[in-house]
Amino acid sequence: MGSIEETLEKLGIVLPAAPKPAGAYVPYVRTGNLVVISGQLPGRAGQIVYTGAVPNVVSAEDAREAAKLATINALAVLKEACSGDLERVVRIVRVGVFVQSADGFAGQPGVANGASDLMVAVFGEAGKHARAAVGANALPLNAAVEVEVMAEVK
């Protein structure tokens, strides 16, 4: 077992099968050494776990967990893009986190830390990335968050 897999195990994370697209797009695109992962939702077993606007329906703390769950789904897609071997990841380049935000909510960076902290926990220094944390009035399937990832692979 590689060190990334060992780290996931220590964190208590079991990657699911890569989620299937919910529309007319592909789960990832590889161009050269970059893998761009389509937006992932906080779903488990085909069901969105966290739905609604932050913080009116979903607390900021739960939204942070939603960002972590969506990132776990993104890692599942990244693993598929790497033919099952996350050791091929050189670095996480960028993470984009969209937060379904109630009027006046400005805590998107704190929610996005759920994704960012997980990337650093899994990949160490190579998990440090550029990031956008964006508020949106609605997201697909009423998800509280959506996470997209760009990674360099070998």
Domain residue limits, the chain:
3-11+29-153
**Residues forming a β-bridge with 34:** 31, 152
pTM: 0.97
Domain 3-11+29-153 has CATH 3.30.1330.40: yes
Per-residue model confidence as pLDDT tens digits over 83-99: 999 999 999 999 999 99
Q: What is the pLDDT of residue 1?
A: 44
- Output the average pLDDT for the chain: 97
Instruction: Say if residue 32's pLDDT is above 60.
Output: yes
Q: Which tokens hold the place of 34? A: 């970059």
* Structure-model confidence comparison of residues 2 and 68, the more confident one: 68
Other C-beta atoms closer than 10 Å to the C-beta of 16 total 15
Instruction: Say if residue 118's pLDDT is above 80.
Output: yes
Overall size of the chain counted in residues:
154
